[in-house]
Amino acid sequence: MKRTWLTLITVVLLFVTALSGCKGGKKEEETTQTSTTQTTITETTSKAETQSQEETTEKQPVYGGEITVGIQQDIDSLDPHKAVAAGTKEILFNVYEGLVKPDENGNLVPAIAEDVVISEDGCEYTFPIREGIQFHDGSTVTAEDVVYSLKRVAGLLDETDPSVVVDSAFSHVTEISAEDNVVKIVLSAANTELLGYLTCAIIPAGNTTCDKTPIGTGPYKVASYQALEKVVLSKNTNYWGEEPYLDTVTFKIVADSDTATTQLLAGSIDVYAYLTYDQAAELEGKFRIEEGSMGLVQGIFLNNESKLFSDERVRQAINYAVDRQGVLDMIANGKGAVIATDMFPSFGTYYNDETEEVYPHDPAKAIELLKQAGYPNGISFEMIVPSGYEYHINTAQVIIDQLKEANINVKMQKVDDSSWLKDVYQDRNYEASLYGLAAKVVVPSRVLSRYASTASNNFINYKNAEYDEILAKAIASIDDHEKQELYKQLEAMLTEDAASVYLQDPALLVAVNPELEGYKFYPIFVQDVASLHYMQ
């Protein structure tokens, strides 16, 4: 059965509500003011002439120019199938494309595929490949390139590179084939959410050196990369889609946000995200401050197999000891959304808001739980925080102060992003870590599958056989209402088991050069520079 792209918006469980309400801010107010001050058309010649003059002097988008975007950490790989860090993906979004890609409203739209046909049982996907798309090296994209790329991320190549991140979402894929420029994917079990994972990058068949010579199909290509300094992108003049405006975009690594603020004011940076509320207030009037949602689950992630946090009562105690709203009020002037499970409020009907009521701020309850667990004098532990994210550092400091009230003493250890990825995410050598987990694709199973007992990215070592069973059922279901209920059950289990301490989906404050227009927020955090442009 052929399903239109409009239908797929529902099938893939996209973000439709939250972002439309948080993009407005100053930019929408300016638009409203402009529309109300336009000269009214009348039959009077002088007024008509005045309006004509205004129209001819109205600024229009122009092609060309260059900008510098400040980022907080170095990339971990230019190979899209090896990259793990969300900060890397925000850049590579401009370089690589998949069969489909998300737009700013959360809809999946055609990219390298021009259409999709999904069988009624959800077990077969068919994609006619768009004709005439070129890679950055000038070669034409073929169905064989698509098959190679998908097999690479699914771990189905004969010689799989061990450093490639094999996505468990492809575990039920039994066949990926091509015929007459049409790609077919066959599954052993239904998965109506697979489309959301097919945003994975398409690269030339056989290209195993993307980390050194990145070749994609996106609106920009990598011109140069200097480790710990910058990534420079240049305009892809052969881009198949809408022509990007800017000629050159430099992503400059500025780990310290105070330094970034100084560089913004000095004019050496044009765009910078992850501002604190105080920094945004300082820049107001000099830069346009755009506000959206980070699409980030920020939490204190607990290693459930460590000696201290293997006891559910200890994990619950910390949940009671944290004042989530107090954290938000202290570091963000109340901006953002309080959460208590690993899911985004912007998922709408897939978000279980009842989880927010499970752990009210109750230090006395926390102390009692610690006593029951054998810690009458409280506990102490180390919390690892990435040094490049001031928002996380500020959050950690507020929480450390709050936890003291429940006899919980925490020492913050700041590490660079690469150390965090190795020690915490990969080696799981830690007790607790305050971090933010981004939604890399717009499907709930992607967020919740990281807690499956055998998931390679289950870095908190959460183990629950019932959770595994419900997750498999939710992914296999082709009934949308049933999916909603099953995902809400999973979210409730994470909360009740105190798998970790989920805190908030923070507001995203971005400073944008007032001469630039076209900044977009997405349901996943990316820096879409193709739409940015100067006005003239």
Domain coordinates in residue numbering, the chain: 5-12+75-197, 296-505
**Average pLDDT taken over every residue of the chain:** 88
pLDDT at residue 439 in the model: 74
For residue 78 the two structure tokens come to: 């230019």
pLDDT at residue 386 in the model: 94
Mean pLDDT across the stretch 334-349? 90
Secondary element (H or E) of residue 433: strand 432-438
Mean pLDDT across the stretch 328-340? 93
Q: Which residues pair with residue 70 across a beta bridge?
A: 252, 272
pLDDT at 340 over 50: yes
pLDDT at residue 32 in the model: 29
Mean pLDDT across the stretch 69-77? 94
pLDDT at 39 over 70: no
Using CA atoms in the order 489, 490, 491, 492, what is the torsion angle rounded to 10 degrees? 50
pLDDT at 446 over 70: yes
| Domain 5-12+75-197: homologous superfamily in CATH | Dipeptide-binding Protein; Domain 1 (3.90.76.10)
Mean pLDDT across the stretch 517-525? 89
% of the chain exceeding 70 in pLDDT: 89
d(CA 336, CA 392): 14
Q: Which residues pair with residue 502 across a beta bridge?
A: 299
pLDDT at 27 over 60: no
3-class secondary structure, 525: coil
pLDDT at residue 57 in the model: 66
d(CA 114, CA 215): 21
Of 73, 330, 92, residue with least CA distance to 227: 73
d(CA 326, CA 330): 6
More confident residue, 342 or 446: 342
Q: Which residues pair with residue 434 across a beta bridge?
A: 300
Beta strand 408-415 with 501-505: parallel, antiparallel or unpaired? unpaired
> Structurally, what CATH architecture does the domain formed by 296-505 represent?
Roll (3.10)
Mean pLDDT across the stretch 231-236? 98
pLDDT at 147 over 80: yes
- How far CA 489 is from CA of 129, 354, 460, 496, in Å, comes to 38, 11, 19, 10
Identify whether the C-beta of residue 245 lies closer than 8 Å to the C-beta of residue 518: yes
% of the chain exceeding 90 in pLDDT: 72
* Position 191 confidence tier, pLDDT thresholds 50, 70, 90: confident
Identify whether the C-beta of residue 170 lies closer than 8 Å to the C-beta of residue 188: no
Secondary element (H or E) of residue 301: strand 296-302
The structure's pTM equals: 0.76
Identify whether the C-beta of residue 433 lies closer than 8 Å to the C-beta of residue 424: yes
Instruction: Tell me how many degrees the CA angle 164-166-168 measures, rounded to the nearest 5.
Output: 170
- How far CA 484 is from CA of 38, 120, 349, 440, 477, in Å, comes to 47, 20, 7, 20, 10
pLDDT at residue 7 in the model: 38
* Position 104 confidence tier, pLDDT thresholds 50, 70, 90: confident
* Position 417 confidence tier, pLDDT thresholds 50, 70, 90: confident
d(CA 455, CA 513): 42
* Position 500 confidence tier, pLDDT thresholds 50, 70, 90: very high
pLDDT at residue 169 in the model: 85
pLDDT at residue 26 in the model: 33
